[in-house]
Structure 1
Amino acid sequence: MKSGGILGVEHGIVLAPMGADVAGPELVAAVANAGGVGLLASPVNNYDETVKAIRAIKKLTDKPFGAGILLEFDNSKTIQAIYDEKLAFMQVYWGEFPKEKVDEAHKHGVKILHQLGSVEAAEKAVAAGVDCIIAQGVEAGGHIVGTVSLMALLPRIVDVVGDKNIPVVAAGSITDARGYAAALALGAKGVCLGTRFIATKEAYAHEYYKETLLKYNEQQTDRTDLYGRYTWRAYVRCLSTPFHEFWKQSPDYDHLTNDESQPIIGHCVIYDKETILRRFAGQVANPTTTGQLENMCMLAGEGVGLVNDIVPAGEIVKRFVEGVKAIIQDLGASYEEK
């Protein structure tokens, strides 16, 4: 029995391009080498740093991989680097990517995966001719563009796609093979994983962040726009840490902004750029981060309660592929007419 590959890749497991640099070269290569779709968290509108990261991945794998782009910002330089380096995939998110841009990507041999959170957005993506749609439910970690749960959204988007041969990938609180099987039952061809891949050896996340994920469950996340308001006020899902719970109760909650009025709580290096982290900054902690780690944003989805260990990324892919095969076989045996 095949595990169900997509886009010419062996398995239907997609690495979410988690920023600012959690989904870095080592993690992307590890997922690609395991037969999944590895997606780099691209530097924002930086040609040279994007090329540097892509070439670092190429040293670690000869498998196809891609990069993620946030459409909220000008990323023309980063996109050009992706085209020049001849990546296999580009994931676009948080905005529209019309047919002329999809056509341009195709001229460069790049397949487009459009992540979205509504039926309306899916209709536009289908019309634009994208190669894959990632349906993101509101229970997902990180930035969440929609307000509908994956269970309700996914089959609706599958119906929108119809017979157009565009694979739909499910994203949102999927952290083990049972979630993968459920997504397949709803019509998806694959799953996109974020939170589960943070807790891996190769993820470029601080060990404190990884270990903290193991201590939280589905009731301890929150959809909020508290973090990163200075540059982009957008909803994310994060862990409801003591820091988060304290400030959520503040009478000034709606006006708290990570501007210069806030104290500096840490420092880090993101794609060779030294970054000051003020209270309520949107960046998560990477291995270079110093300071008040417990008071920093920790992005995670509602599936965090099933994240119980930190293992190599290849092991995650293996668990999903072997697990979903076993589930499907068991279901077949259970429901087969005697």
Structure 2
Amino acid sequence: MKIETSVTRLLGIDLPILQAGMSWASSNAALPLAVSRAGGLGVIAAGPMRLDALEEAIDTIRAGTDRPFAVNMPLYRKGAEDLLDLLEAKRIPILIASQGGPQKYLDRFRAVGTICLHVVASELHAVKAAEKGVDGLIVVGGEAGGHPPADLVSTLVLVRAVAKATEGRIPLVASGGFADGQGLASALALGAGAANFGTRFIATPEAGVVDGYKQAVIGAGVADTRTVGRGFGMIRTLSNDFAEEMAALERAAAPDDQRRETFAASTLKMAAFDGDMRRGKLEAGQSAGLVSRIMPAAEIVAEIARDYVVCVRSLPQPVPTNAPQPAL
């Protein structure tokens, strides 16, 4: 199956389905490889990776498929320049950059033929990135796991606002709150050319997180996440002891130092890699409430595409105004 949009044409993929770059969950070859093979875009999350591990993941994906894949690169991380040098040398097909300006990477990657997508969380940053010349934008709304926008504007509103602000001049990927084919249909209706699926792909055998993390995702409801750490790199996380403690400190307007210390004492690695479900940062989006089972990544891609087609075909069609009206 193919679903052609501005984003699939830009990236050379069959389906407008992107697997989000998620630290630990997709800091490997297995998950991105499965998604790219299935016709979507698999994304390596370079955030927590060493140089040798990142190079190995890139080489493994290239050995396993000739389909496009991407590397998500947080520009703020320690050693970012060394990783960017590696990605440039490897001539990766697609770079997804976040938490920094396009001027840090755009010219050098364009010169080696890499398509550059930039992650944004506001109309202002979207317009600026587009003006700098990036090839596409990933627009992250407040429902997203990990690091949602500080103002928590919903994906429904933000993607539409960015589409209007950029006037269709640049392909958009909607991110935050998507878990199924109905979500994909809504993303395309808003003016995006694809949807970014993060939390849904945590619940896969290929995701590089402990089983307890996956079970926490499929056991969560739509209201079982919260945002904590405002001012210190705010995250959306599943509720656990860490999140409850942070929320209590924030409600009490505890001193910055106390809140910062508590926030920094917990990490995503503690939950995703070490299996500490109580004190680790269980980053996940509100769409966790739409995820009920663990499935192979390729089956998820196929299911999203099938459900999208069913959804679009079932939408009400306009009735001509001169057509006979049914009797009441």
TM score, norm. by length of structure 2:
0.87
1:267 — aligned with what?
none
Deviates more, 1:44-53 or 1:110-119: 44-53
Q: Which amino acid aligns with 2:132?
A: A
Aligned residues of 1:135 and 1:153 also touching (Cα < 8 A): yes
Letter in structure 2 aligned against 1:255: D
Partner SS state of residue 293, structure 1: coil
- Quote how far apart the aligned CAs of 1:255 are: 3.4
1:294 aligns with 2:262: no
Q: Alpha-carbon deviation of 1:62?
A: 2.4
Unaligned runs of 5+ in 1: 263-277
Give SS of 2:102's match.
coil
Q: Label 1:302 to 1:21 Cα distance change in 2 as closer, same or farther (>3 A).
A: closer
Q: Do the aligned residues in 2 keep the contact of 1:116 with 1:146 (CA within 8 Å)?
A: no
Equivalent-residue separation in structure 2 for 1:145 and 1:112 (angstroms): 21
8 Å CA contact 2:27, 2:48 repeated in 1: no
**Aligned partner of residue 58 in structure 2, secondary structure:** helix
Q: Which residue of 1 aligns with 2:236?
A: 237
Shift of 1:11: 0.8
Is the aligned partner of 1:315 residue 2:317? no
Aligned to 1:327: 311
- Residue 133 of structure 1 aligns with which residue? 137
Per the alignment, residue 66 of structure 2 pairs with 62
Indicate the RMSD between aligned Cα atoms, in angstroms.
2.5
Query: Residue 106 of structure 1 corresponds to which residue in structure 2?
Result: 110
Residue 326 of structure 2 is matched in structure 1 by none
> For 1:270-289, what aligned pairs fall within 5 Å after superposition?
279-283=265-269, 285-286=271-272, 289=274
Aligned to 1:3: 3
Q: Which has the higher strand share?
A: 1
In the TM superposition, residue 285 of structure 1 has moved relative to its aligned partner by: 3.1
Q: Counterpart of 2:236 in 1: which secondary structure? A: strand
Percent of residue pairs bearing the same amino acid type: 29
1:185 and 2:169 aligned? no
**What amino acid is the match of 2:233?**
A
Deviates more, 1:142-151 or 1:117-126: 142-151
Conserved? CA contact 1:118–1:153, under 8 Å: yes
TM-score (norm 1): 0.84
Matches within 5 A, 1:37-76: 37-43=41-47, 46-73=50-77, 74-76=79-81
- Give, in angstroms, the shift of residue 103 of structure 1: 2.5
Amino acid at match of 1:184: L
The answer to whether 1:210 aligns with 2:214 is: yes
Measured in 1, the distance between the counterparts of 2:62 and 2:163 equals 33
In structure 1, what is the Cα distance between the partners aligned to 2:289 and 2:25? 23
| Structure richer in helix, relative to its length | 2
Q: How many residues align?
A: 312
Structure 2 alignment gaps of length 5 or more:
324-328
SS in 1 for 2:118: strand
1:95 — aligned with what? 100
Q: Which amino acid aligns with 1:106?
A: R
Instruction: Tell me the distance in 1 between the aligned counterparts of 2:258 and 2:25.
Output: 25
Aligned counterpart for 1:175 among listed residues 176, 179, 182: 179
* 1:268 corresponding residue in structure 2: none
State the Cα deviation string for residues 37-89 of structure 1 (Å, max 9, x = none). 11101155843332122112223322111101112235111111112112110
After TM superposition, the structure 1 stretch with the greater mean CA deviation from structure 2, 42-51 or 20-29, is 42-51
Q: Output the CA distance in 2 between the equivalents of 1:4 and 1:336.
A: 27
Question: Counterpart amino acid of 1:4?
Answer: E
In 2 relative to 1, CA 284–129 (structure 1 residues): closer, same or farther, beyond 3 Å?
A: farther
Instruction: Give the AA of the match of 2:3.
Output: S
Tell me the CA shift for residue 281 of structure 1.
2.2
Contact 1:239 1:299 in 2 (8 A): yes
